[in-house]
Amino acid sequence: MTPAAVQTPRQTSEMTFDVARIRRDFPILQERVGGKPLVYLDNAATSQKPLQVLEALANYYEHSNANIHRGVHALSVRATAAYEDSRRKAAKFINAPKPEEIVFVRGTTEAINLVAQAYARPLLEPGDEVLITILEHHSNIVPWRMVCEQTGALLKVAPINDAGEIIVEEFQRLIGPRTKIVAFAHVSNALGTINPAVELTRIAKARGATVIVDGAQAAPHLAIDVRAIGCDFYAISSHKMFGPTGVGILWGRFDLLNAMPPYQGGGEMIKSVTLKEIIYNDVPHKFEAGTPNIADVIGFASAIDYMEQVGRDHIADYEQELVEYGTRVLSAIPQLQLVGTAREKAAVFSFTVEGIHPHDVGTILDGEGIAVRTGFHCAQPCIERFGLDSTVRASLALYNTREEIDALAVGIRTVVEVLG
Q: Are the C-beta atoms of 409 and 370 separated by less than 8 Å?
A: no
Same fold, 19-44+311-419 and 63-308: no
Q: What's the rounded Cα separation, in Å, for the pair 302 and 308?
A: 10
CATH fold for the domain made of 19-44+311-419: Aspartate Aminotransferase, domain 1 (3.90.1150)
Q: What's the rounded Cα separation, in Å, for the pair 124 and 108?
A: 22
Q: What's the rounded Cα separation, in Å, for the pair 391 and 348?
A: 12
Return the pLDDT at 163. Answer: 98
Q: Are the C-beta atoms of 231 and 202 separated by less than 8 Å?
A: no
Q: Are the C-beta atoms of 177 and 168 separated by less than 8 Å?
A: no
The structural domains of the chain, with segments of one domain joined by +, span: 19-44+311-419, 63-308
CA nearest neighbour of 209 among 167, 178, 253, 168: 178
Select from 3.40.640.10, 3.40.50.300, 3.30.465.10, 3.90.550.10 the CATH code of 63-308: 3.40.640.10
The rounded mean pLDDT for the chain is: 95
Return the pLDDT at 420. Answer: 75
Q: What's the rounded Cα separation, in Å, for the pair 99 and 304?
A: 15
How many C-beta atoms lie closer than 10 Å to residue 274's C-beta?
A: 7
Return the pLDDT at 14. Answer: 35
SS (H, E, C) the chain: CCCCCCCCCCCCCCCCCCHHHHHHCCHHHHCEECCEECEECECCCCCCCCHHHHHHHHHHHHHCCCCCCCCCCHHHHHHHHHHHHHHHHHHHHCCCCCHHHEEEECCHHHHHHHHHHHHHHHHCCCCCEEEEECCCCHHHCHHHHHHHHHHCCEEEEECECCCCCECHHHHHHCCCCCEEEEEEECECCCCCEECCHHHHHHHHHHCCCEEEEECCCCCCCCCCCHHHHCCCEEEEEHHHHCCCCCCEEEEECHHHHHHCCCCCCCCCCEEEECCCCEEECCCCHHHCCCCCCHHHHHHHHHHHHHHHHHCHHHHHHHHHHHHHHHHHHHHCCCCEEECCCCCCECCEEEEEECCECHHHHHHHHHHCCEECEEECCCCHHHHHHCCCCCEEEEECCCCCCHHHHHHHHHHHHHHHHHHC
Strands 248-252 and 102-105: antiparallel
Q: What's the rounded Cα separation, in Å, for the pair 336 and 42?
A: 19
Q: What's the rounded Cα separation, in Å, for the pair 189 and 247?
A: 18
> Could you tell me the end-to-end alpha-carbon distance of the chain, in angstroms, rounded to an integer?
55
Inter-CA distances, 242 with 6, 51, 74, 319, 342, Å: 19, 10, 30, 15, 25
Determine which one of 148, 231, 378, 382 is catalytic: 378
pLDDT digits (tens, 9 = 90+) for 209-262: 999 999 999 999 999 999 999 999 999 999 999 999 999 999 999 999 999 999
- 382 given a catalytic annotation: no
pTM for the model = 0.94
Could you list the pLDDT tens digit for every one of the 420 residues in the chain? 333 333 333 443 334 579 999 999 999 999 999 999 999 999 999 999 999 999 999 999 999 999 999 889 999 999 999 999 999 999 999 999 999 999 999 999 999 999 999 999 999 999 999 999 999 999 999 999 999 999 999 999 999 999 999 999 999 999 999 999 999 999 999 999 999 999 999 999 999 999 999 999 999 999 999 999 999 999 999 999 999 999 999 999 999 999 999 999 998 898 999 999 999 899 999 999 999 999 999 999 999 999 999 999 999 999 999 999 999 999 999 999 999 999 999 999 999 999 999 999 999 999 999 999 999 999 999 999 999 999 999 999 999 999 999 999 999 999 999 997
